[in-house]
A and B are shown apart, each in its own frame.
Chain A
């Protein structure tokens, strides 16, 4: 199965962020939520991303493009966990997400866990290009195998650039014999990360029991968590991101005329 979904959010003349383009394709279903139906910031567009049961399967190629225009704000929230499964077709399942955030725009991309079930081979690719003063908050949780199950393979590639400079590039190869080694996952079945280019960066690393929030060399920061289960992973992720000074700041007001 091949699916391409696309979401474009722009800022209108009144200062509100509006969905300009929305193309869903099963299993990538994008569901905008009108401001009247949620109690979040009315100037931030809220869109839910719902998968469908039993995807992605081996052989599936899913592609999601997210464009946030200058000054616009988007909160894209996953609904329900994703199960990466083996398929009848040869080859891995792949999910590619490309993100563009324009000047003074902001995107929160908060997905639910991806569970890599036995014999799956899933590739997750994330490319984000930010304007110099754009904001991004991107959370990913990966669970290797259902309870007691030997997981399939999970590969991810993350590329984050701001104004042409690479802030983070990271490849993860999980689900193999290396998971148990002290260098890789040290035996933890859950890994969670949160990428933050969101106002002030932390001045120095914050670190605790199998979590850290670290400032990246050229701006932005990364929270990384290893855990025995998703509840612990989210708790540690919350602890890590609580140390982020930018999240505590109120979002900068964007002038309407700008």
Chain B
């Protein structure tokens, strides 16, 4: 998306996906710890399958909401002029009208709707909790780095936001495009579990890194798809799901209460 790939937005994306970004992500394995405990991930090959599956499901869902949140944040910062040709089809103007978008709007209805719709696409309570823990962790870091009335509005509407929504909002506030926000969500969806695999299974970090890089093509493909849906009403956003990941998230949560594991999810 060279049209809106500006330097400030790209730099924000680099910061958001940096493993040293202090948003609390390092304590989450995205289900990898449970998969490893069950012997489903043992080596670089099984890790590659895990990452690919996660990218197309949980990753794709995060990408959809990150792109939509980036789009929302950008619109709140500079509402599309009514007379401007609508490049995204009828949805854009309709969305703006339906949500009372415009200067001075805090976006409360947009943020609340995105939050509720992502809830509805996340049946596992453990995954909802992990998403909100990482979202509020990211918000803490985001308030320092990208202070904005748009961020204040999001946090007023949803004090413990889902991570993809918060990630997308920060990206949008920093000037990144919905595609870039989706890419960031996809990268985080696999880089976290990949990093956890080096800590839990002692996998060769070069092979693990290669497994993440090998997903570049599907990552950009899924990001482009996510960007195409970013202007839809939140209720109409896609909802890819991962049944085994959902089940493992609940099992991990239960194990937590009996014998604490290394990762929060």
- Using CB atoms and an 8 Å cutoff, list the residues of chain A in contact with chain B: 157, 165-173, 178, 180-186, 188, 191, 204-205, 207, 210-212, 214-218, 222, 224, 226
Residues of B with C-beta under 8 A to A185: 243-244
Encoded as 1 (CB less than 8 Å from any A CB) or 0, chain B from 228 to 265 comes to 00000001001111111111101101100000000000
B139 within 8 A of A: no
B239 close to A171 (CB less than 8 A): yes
Q: Which of B2-10, B15-23, B52-60, B76-84 lies at the binding interface?
A: B52-60
Please list 5 pairs of residues, one from A and one from B, whose beta carbons are closer than 8 Å in the complex, sorted by A's number.
A173-B240, A178-B52, A182-B244, A183-B57, A222-B123
- Set of chain A residues within 8 Å of B238, measured between Cβ atoms: 171
* Nearest CB in chain B: distance from A173 CB, A: 7
Whether A183 pairs with B247 at a CB distance below 8 angstroms is no
B110 to chain A, nearest CB (A): 15
B41 and A182 contacting across the interface, CB-CB below 8 Å? yes
Contact size class for B? 35 or more
Whether A217 touches B124, Cβ cut-off 8 Å, given contacts A181-B52, A184-B57, is: no
Q: Known contacts being A172-B243, A214-B123, is A207 close to B251, with CB within 8 Å? A: yes
Smallest Cβ distance from A232 to chain B, in angstroms? 14
A-B pairs under 8 A by CB, number: 117
| Cβ-defined contact, B128 with A170, below 8 A | no
CA distance A218 to B235 in the complex (A): 14
State whether A169 touches B31 (Cβ < 8 A): no
Apart from the given pairs A171-B239, A173-B56, A212-B124, 9 other A-B contacts in the complex at a CB distance below 8 Å = A168-B120, A170-B123, A183-B35, A183-B58, A183-B245, A191-B243, A207-B250, A214-B246, A222-B123
The one of A166, A181, A216 in contact with B53, judged by C-beta atoms closer than 8 angstroms, is A181
The answer on a CB contact under 8 Å between A207 and B254 is: yes
Query: Are B242 and A184 in contact, CB atoms less than 8 angstroms apart?
Result: yes
Contact B119 A217 (CB under 8 A): yes
- Smallest beta-carbon distance B140→chain A, Å: 23
* Chain B minimum-CB-distance residue to A172: B241
Contact of B121 with A by CB under 8 A: yes
